[in-house]
Amino acid sequence: MSVYLCSDLHGDFKGFKRLLDKVAFKPNGNKIYILGDIIDRGKENIALLEYIMSLYESGCASVIKGNHELF
């Protein structure tokens, strides 16, 4: 099992998906910790948030709220 850390996505859903593809992230065998600032500034905030929520619900992601989630 591989473990990944990521932060400051700022609504860049396509960029996040490219990153996961680059490291060959597999939801059924890997874990990702997202360290805040998921939304704000980008154009794909809702799509990114929904995708991360699906990863969280499947148990392969943990999320820490950042200052941009507070706005």
pTM for this model (two decimals): 0.88
Residue 23, CA distances (Å) to 2, 9, 67 in order: 10, 16, 27
The C-alpha atoms of residue 40 and residue 20 are separated, in whole angstroms, by 20
Residue 40: what pLDDT? 87
Angle, alpha carbons 57-16-20 (nearest 5°): 75
Q: At what angle do helices 13-22 and 45-57 cross, to 10 degrees?
A: 40
Domains of the chain and CATH, by start: 3-70 (3.60.21.10)
For residue range 2-47, list pLDDT tens digits in order: 999 999 999 999 999 999 999 999 999 999 999 989 998 889 999 9
Confidence of residue 49 (pLDDT cuts 50, 70, 90): very high
